[in-house]
A and B are shown apart, each in its own frame.
Chain A
Amino acid sequence: GQQVMQIPQYQHVQEGEDFTTYCNSSTTLSNIQWYKQRPGGHPVFLIQLVKSGEVKKQKRLTFQFGEAKKNSSLHITATQTTDVGTYFCAGWIGFGNEKLTFGTGTRLTIIP
């Protein structure tokens, strides 16, 4: 079935290092959203990308939507302990009958 996969599943980085998570869909996405879930918390919306090849930045976070609208990435520069959590991409799949399908998530832990 239609799936949205993320890699890696887990990532441990030293504080100050960069981090990237990749999101891949088997089908073209209408648009893509990114959410962050802190340990014990609930997902919180970060951003939405709509256009092919779109790049958006939020301070140390850079989000990119692929040209074919089948993949996306989130890059964090110089990670901080506050970046700990699980990052989910969520893609709109199924033109005309869209469902927001969440990726499998990447859990980021920071080593101080």
Chain B
Amino acid sequence: KAGVTQTPRYLIKTRGQQVTLSCSPISGHRSVSWYQQTPGQGLQFLFEYFSETQRNKGNFPGRFSGRQFSNSRSEMNVSTLELGDSALYLCASSLIALAGSITGELFFGEGSRLTVL
């Protein structure tokens, strides 16, 4: 069974540009969540999608957006990039929607490492 696939793995952008990252979840997984990982802030929750609907959102500015397609693949977009957006962006998929005591083990992809110059 293929794992979570994220593309691209590495990318370099300049301030003001925008970027789109892609995530293909494990087959059969309908929940996709995104995290930003930086050395200083750890893993910060961006948003979660389930069945094409955004179920939850973290405390990030509106420049960060995402969507999920009918095949559960997800994309996240960051517009007007800032230097502080340099980070590893991790996508994680889960078999079911993330909620409380229901098993919500996350399967992470390798991440997309974004460098903003």
Task: Give residues in A with beta carbon < 8 Å to B.
Answer: 1, 30-31, 33, 35, 41-45, 48, 50, 88, 90, 92, 95, 97-105
Confirm or deny: B109 has a beta carbon within 8 angstroms of a beta carbon on chain A.
Answer: yes
Confirm or deny: B8 has a beta carbon within 8 angstroms of a beta carbon on chain A.
Answer: no
In the bound assembly, the distance between CA atoms of A101 and B101 in angstroms comes to: 14
Report yes or no: B105 in contact with A33, Cβ–Cβ below 8 A.
yes
Can you name 15 A-B residue pairings with CB atoms under 8 Å? A30-B100, A33-B106, A35-B106, A41-B110, A42-B90, A42-B109, A45-B106, A48-B103, A50-B101, A90-B43, A98-B99, A98-B100, A99-B45, A99-B56, A102-B35
Contact of A100 among B90, B98, B107, B110 (CB under 8 A): B98
Min CB–CB distance A87 → chain B (angstroms): 12
Report yes or no: A97 in contact with B42, Cβ–Cβ below 8 A.
no
In the bound assembly, the distance between CA atoms of A48 and B104 in angstroms comes to: 9
Report yes or no: B90 in contact with A88, Cβ–Cβ below 8 A.
no
Given contacts A42-B90, A102-B35, A105-B42, contact A31 B100 (CB under 8 A): yes
Report yes or no: B101 in contact with A43, Cβ–Cβ below 8 A.
no
Confirm or deny: B72 has a beta carbon within 8 angstroms of a beta carbon on chain A.
Answer: no
Confirm or deny: B28 has a beta carbon within 8 angstroms of a beta carbon on chain A.
Answer: no
Given contacts A92-B100, A102-B35, A102-B42, contact A97 B56 (CB under 8 A): yes
On chain A, the residues within 8 Å of B92 by CB distance are 43
Please give me the residue from chain A that is nearest to B106 by CB atom: A45
Contact of A95 among B100, B104, B108, B111 (CB under 8 A): B100
Min CB–CB distance A43 → chain B (angstroms): 5
In the bound assembly, the distance between CA atoms of A18 and B58 in angstroms comes to: 35
Confirm or deny: B33 has a beta carbon within 8 angstroms of a beta carbon on chain A.
Answer: yes
On chain B, the residues within 8 Å of A43 by CB distance are 43, 90, 92, 106, 108
Given contacts A31-B101, A42-B109, A50-B101, contact A99 B58 (CB under 8 A): yes
Given contacts A43-B90, A97-B56, contact A103 B100 (CB under 8 A): no
